[in-house]
Structure 1
């Protein structure tokens, strides 16, 4: 079984540095194999005998902190689920700059009652909800997103975003494993 690991908030500043080998070691110690990292911001593809669960997720988080001193949240997603989330992206026609098209993966199904603010409050940004993802088109740039912190708190405990270019790179790597 192939899977994707997404580590939240590492290597985005001097206090969140985690070396590639520290990531690989943390994933391998949690029982995941053929671990490969991509880019510098916590994108991992791995293999496993079975779908990783909560114990593996916690083990990876503990391993990263023990090795680097950085406490980071981790999502472990099966290849099938990662592809389903990517295939469900309703905003692929919103624009052609894939650095401004973002998929935020969440650790569980979005809770009932999660509401996107009215479109006139977000414009020109577009936001759509999936089952385990939030899709955003941020034409002014991700750093200028108008989604309030209260929205992000409502989506769940673990969430981490990737721009569409990164999603495509992870899909390419998964393709090489099949």
Structure 2
């Protein structure tokens, strides 16, 4: 069995596309996923599956949620191994950096090369962003909600294909996934 971390984009945000986590666990179980656990109310889950294809599983989970709850969230999946690689690849997660400053935008596929094109990152300092693999890492010392960089990037089409999690959530999901090994 392979351990996966799943991220649903756009549910339970501002009262839109509401999906209780108990329903998400039930739907995921009915879709053939095992050992399903959720974390907080923003569409985070961990599970095991005998299947290994991230995109096929994501498509099946999206279809199951749509059929049951009438909403169609984007679903981004990572195996535990890929999740650990994403954690170790964070260019900002070293030293005395406050975890509240760190956020990651996860993409189902490798983000297009132009994700940061036309953005003069030095104009946003001390905020920073960097693409590594299938993730866009943010260093936002004043938080995501006050970030001009994150706000400007969120309006760009490539960013809308991803889903952002704060560093504490990233670490907690790794912890939950390790419990399923």
After TM superposition, the score normalised by the length of structure 1 is: 0.88
Q: Which runs of structure 2 are paired with 1:154-173 in the superposition (5 Å)?
A: 154-155=158-159, 158-173=161-176
Root-mean-square deviation (CA, aligned residues, Å) is: 2.1
The number of aligned residues is 177
Alpha-carbon distance in structure 1 between the residues aligned to 2:95 and 2:124: 15
* Cα distance change on mapping 1:151 and 1:85 into 2, 3 Å: farther
Kept in 2: contact 1:98–1:165 (CA 8 A) = yes
| Residues 41-72 of structure 1: per-residue CA shift (max 9 Å, x gap) | 11101001121333321221122233333321
Partner residue in 1 for 2:42 = 41
| Residues 110-144 of structure 1: per-residue CA shift (max 9 Å, x gap) | 22343352222222211111110000011122122
* Cα distance change on mapping 1:106 and 1:170 into 2, 3 Å: same
Kept in 1: contact 2:55–2:108 (CA 8 A) = no
Q: Which runs of structure 2 are paired with 1:1-178 in the superposition (5 Å)?
A: 1-93=2-94, 96-115=97-116, 117-147=119-149, 148-149=152-153, 152-155=156-159, 158-178=161-181
Alpha-carbon distance in structure 2 between the residues aligned to 1:150 and 1:99: 19
Deviation, structure 1 residue 18: 0.5
Alpha-carbon distance in structure 2 between the residues aligned to 1:69 and 1:97: 39
Alpha-carbon distance in structure 2 between the residues aligned to 1:64 and 1:136: 30
Q: Structure 2: any 5+ residue segments left out of the alignment?
A: none
After TM superposition, the score normalised by the length of structure 2 is: 0.86
SS of structure 2 residue aligned to 1:169: helix
* Cα distance change on mapping 1:152 and 1:80 into 2, 3 Å: farther
Alpha-carbon distance in structure 2 between the residues aligned to 1:144 and 1:95: 21
Deviation, structure 1 residue 172: 0.9
